[in-house]
Amino acid sequence: MAKAAKTAIKKDPKQVAEAKNYTKVIRAVRDEKTGAYTFKEQMVHKDHLKDFLAQK
């Protein structure tokens, strides 16, 4: 079995704290010609989440 590396890359605590403020949003988008759905993924800051979901 593989072991976890003990010499993991050190991360800046400020960057780790800022990364927790983002949310991955997956939206289904329907193609008008074929009627098939595709999925769009985007990272959105949690403060702008309601605005992003309100738009079409």
What does the pLDDT look like over 25-47, one tens digit per residue? Answer: 999 999 999 999 999 999 999 99
Q: Are 26 and 39 in contact (CB under 8 A)?
A: yes
Q: Are 26 and 36 in contact (CB under 8 A)?
A: no
pLDDT given at position 15: 74
Name the nearest CA neighbour of 45 among 18, 27, 26: 18
Helices in the chain by DSSP H: which ranges? 13-19, 49-54
pLDDT given at position 43: 92
| pLDDT interval class at 1 (50, 70, 90) | low
